[in-house]
Amino acid sequence: MRQVDPLLGTCSLTELRQRKSVKWREYPPEVLPSFVAEMDFSLAEPIIAAVTAAVALGDCGYAHPGQLADAFAQFAADRLGWAPETAHVYPIPDVMTGLAEVVQAITPPGSGIVVNPPVYPPFRFRFGFYGRRLIDAPMARGADGRYALDPDAIEAALSEPDAGAYLLCSPHNPTGNVWSRADLAMVADACQRHGAALLVDEIHAPLALPGARFLPFLAIDHDLTRAETTFTFTSATKGWNIAGLKCGLAVAGAPAGTRLLAERWEALLASHLGVLASVAAFTQGLPWLDAVLGQLDQNRALLAGLLAEHLPGVRYAPPQASFLAWLDCRDLGLGDDPADVFQEKGNVALGHGPHFGAEGRGFARLNMGTSPELLEEAVRRMASVL
């Protein structure tokens, strides 16, 4: 049996099934859940200590930003080569809520938000709740299955008269792409030409894998990094697997953006436990994060071998970041939504490709944030449907 790093626990299925999060409660126990972006590893010890100490003390009130901005800035300096202005960093309850609030504040009702499908499904529906519409700038897909931003599609999307903002997913979910400086500059140039706000979701940044160099948008040299309508969003919730604790960070490009976040401080109150956990993650969670990165690096290679052996009809380009594998299942003859078939006939639940946009038809997203054993089991179950 291949061991996972002791820092990450054992990924025992018996223990995991005791969890009550959506991953473990959405489907009956015979279904192996490999869909939502939660990892199966044990939490980092410093996070457990911070949260249990607070609960033991009855310290469960409203959040104070405390050390969050400093803790994040230290992490960004150490790991991302970026020194964010701590005064521009604000806690938010989660990335999607922060994005929704900022979109409402900086774009007129009826505006279009440009996104790059296939893309994280809530990008596709969330802004409709607030009377904004999506404008798709689909990514280009090469013969090798790798994706790239498509400057022509972006230009066309931003040329729509109501295009108010561009929402870049960086690193990109579900393709796992890490964008280069040239990619970021191309997007920023296009937004600048068209007067569109630029919002960058960097939630997967702590999980850039060996071989990839993640670049925070605000660290590049571009006028738009200092614009009033530029914001980046991140959190410790993907990197350290604490989405349920509810804390993200918004970083404004300019003082006016900082004021906008400050005015909305109470509307965007993070969870107090989430702030404490995130500080622990950014300051004391690096050995754990390194263990995760090592495991994910192994898992993405292991998956290539498993697919070649058991599901040679599936095409997969290993991600440059995070724990999500975007699987091209179109040659399997399982229709537009292969995840339905994998779940019904194979008892393994994957993310539904079409939820990521029309470009996701025939695709499924597999979560690799687990042990090699459970990854193997997921692929075995997928193969059993054929």
Ligand X SMILES: Cc1ncc(COP(=O)(O)O)c(C=O)c1O
Q: How far is C-alpha 63 from the chain's CA centre? A: 24
Nearer to ligand X, 50 or 203 (CB): 203
Under rule CB under 6 A, residue 248 binds ligand X:
yes
What backbone phi and psi angles, to 5 degrees, belong to 382?
-60, -45
CA distance between the termini of the chain: 27
Shortest separation between residue 384's beta carbon and ligand X, angstroms: 27
Question: Could you tell me the sign of the dihedral formed by the alpha carbons of 28, 30, 32, 35, in that order?
Answer: negative
Dihedral of alpha carbons 341, 335, 375, 24, sign = negative
DSSP state of 326: E
What is the closest distance, in whole angstroms, from the C-beta atom of residue 172 to ligand X in the complex? 8
In the complex, the smallest distance separating the C-beta of residue 243 from ligand X, rounded to whole angstroms, is: 5
* Cα–Cα distance measured from residue 361 to residue 244, given in angstroms and rounded to the nearest whole number: 30
Number of residues that bind ligand X (CB under 6 A): 13
Under the binding rule (CB under 6 A), the answer on residue 320 touching ligand X is no
Rounded distance, CA 192 to CA 188, Å?
Answer: 6
Residues 212-241: x where in contact with ligand X by CB under 6 A, - otherwise, as a string: -----------------------x-x----
Token pair in block for residue 215: 């670049």
Q: Which of 201, 328, 337, 359 binds ligand X (CB under 6 A)?
A: 201
Compute the residue count for the chain. 386
Interface with ligand X (CB under 6 A), residue from 11, 37, 102, 205? 37
Q: Which stretch binds ligand X (CB under 6 A): 55-63, 72-80, 94-102, 341-349?
A: 94-102
Residue 178 found at the interface with ligand X (CB under 6 A): no
Measured from the CB of residue 2, what is the shortest distance to ligand X in angstroms? 26
* 281 counts as binding ligand X under rule CB under 6 A: no
Q: Which of 212, 204, 218, 184 is nearest to 89 (CA)?
A: 218
* Residue among 274 and 362 whose Cβ is closer to ligand X: 274
Amino acid occupying residue 252: A
Distances (CA, A) of 264 to 72, 90, 93, 275, 298: 20, 10, 12, 17, 42
Closest separation in Å from C-beta 195 to ligand X? 25
120 interacts with ligand X by CB under 6 A: yes
Binding of ligand X by 245 (CB under 6 A): no
Amino acid at 84: P
Tokens 């249990």 belong to residue: 52
Q: Is residue 101 close enough to count as binding ligand X by CB under 6 A? A: no
Using an 8 Å Cβ cutoff, are 212 and 321 in contact? yes
Question: Which residue sits closest to ligand X, CB atoms considered?
Answer: 94
Q: Which of 39, 44, 96, 254 touches ligand X by CB under 6 A?
A: 96
Using CB under 6 A as the binding rule, whether residue 198 contacts ligand X is answered as no
- The region of 88-96, 188-196, 218-226, 377-385 touching ligand X under the rule CB under 6 A is 88-96
Residues in the site for ligand X, rule: CB under 6 A? 37, 94-96, 120, 169, 173, 201, 203, 235, 237, 243, 248
